[in-house]
Amino acid sequence: MLIVYISKEGVGKYTHIDNQKVSGSVPSVPDPGHVTVQFTADSNLQTFPPSGSQGKISGETRPPLDADDTFSKPVSGSEESQRGGWFQTFTVAAYKPYFDVDTTDVLERIKYSLFPFRGTFTEKTVNNPDLYGPFWICTTLIFVAASIGTFVTYIAHKLQKKEWNYDINLVTWSAGVFYGYVLLVPLVLYVILKYFSAPSGLVQLFCLYGYSLFVFIPALCLSVIPVEIFRWVIAGVAGFMSATFVALNLRAHIMSAGERKS
């Protein structure tokens, strides 16, 4: 019979064979004591995100600057993104850098759009064009235009004591106008600039035209005033500011492209 016992000296055992005890012992493992783990001075455990991040939010690489490389360069270090090509257009990772902005960036770009005579918007956003601001500006315009249009027609019918019915087509009409303007016009302009050897990034053009529409939000809010001449004046001023903002920034881009070629 084998019997195992534990004592302070270690683990012992003895065998009981025919009323005789044969004992033995196994030395105990010495106590290693306290183990101290030290971190180096340059450890990044105290900072998040790590200092190597390039983006403000996601830490991804910045959008490419060249117009021909808008969607052709990888935006992350994964194996799939390293394939490059137009395949990146159909992945979420391709658009993450264009939403890597914070509230300060968006407000600053809106401020530039309200002062159109500077012509420095393209220069300020060339390293980080975004789609976040243009998307929400267009979406806000759609609902503001639909709601203001509905309110104006409602007041007009009530003053004339006519029956009024809500027209849902105002929403779809507004969506088609604003989204179509921001998507189609920059796409056509992208092809034209590339043809005349003054290429601009496609996302950069989306950003420029998207922010140029912000001035129409306060203009639409002022159009609730039931004075027809005042409404036309507000619409004309907003259109002039938006067109001037786009024209001066495109002019600055074309001039800088000509200087680079020379």
**Domains of the chain by residue range:** 1-27, 67-94, 103-261
Among 202, 215, 225, 135, CA closest to 175: 135
Other beta carbons less than 10 A from residue 157's beta carbon: 13
Enumerate the β-bridge partners of residue 27. 10
Query: Which tokens sit at 57?
Result: 């939010």
pLDDT digits (tens, 9 = 90+) for 65-81: 444 444 434 444 444 44
Mean confidence (pLDDT) of the chain: 75
Q: 85 pLDDT band (50/70/90 cuts)?
A: low
Report angle CA 219, 221, 225 to the nearest 5 degrees. Answer: 95
Report the distance separating Cα 93 and Cα 99, nearest Å: 11
The SS3 of residue 25 is: strand
Q: Which pLDDT does position 36 carry in this prediction?
A: 53
Q: 49 pLDDT band (50/70/90 cuts)?
A: very low
Report the distance separating Cα 231 and Cα 211, nearest Å: 22
Report the distance separating Cα 88 and Cα 101, nearest Å: 21
What is the arithmetic mean of pLDDT over 202-208? 93
For residue 63, pLDDT over 70 is answered with no
What is the arithmetic mean of pLDDT over 219-230? 89
Report the distance separating Cα 156 and Cα 151, nearest Å: 9
Peptide bond connecting 49 to the previous residue in cis, omega within 30 degrees of 0: yes
Q: Which pLDDT does position 93 carry in this prediction?
A: 79
DSSP string for 130-154:
-SHHHHHHHHHHHHHHHHHHHHHHH
Question: Among the ranges 32-36, 197-201, 255-259, which has the highest mean pLDDT value?
Answer: 197-201
Higher pLDDT, 108 or 27: 108
H helices within the chain, ranges in order?
103-114, 121-125, 132-159, 169-195, 202-212, 216-222, 228-261
For residue 164, pLDDT over 60 is answered with yes
Higher pLDDT, 164 or 208: 208
For residue 233, pLDDT over 60 is answered with yes
Amino acid at 65: L
Q: Which pLDDT does position 53 carry in this prediction?
A: 44
> Residue 93 — φ and ψ, nearest 5°?
-60, -25
Report the distance separating Cα 190 and Cα 193, nearest Å: 5
Report the distance separating Cα 88 and Cα 66, nearest Å: 16
In this prediction the pTM is 0.66
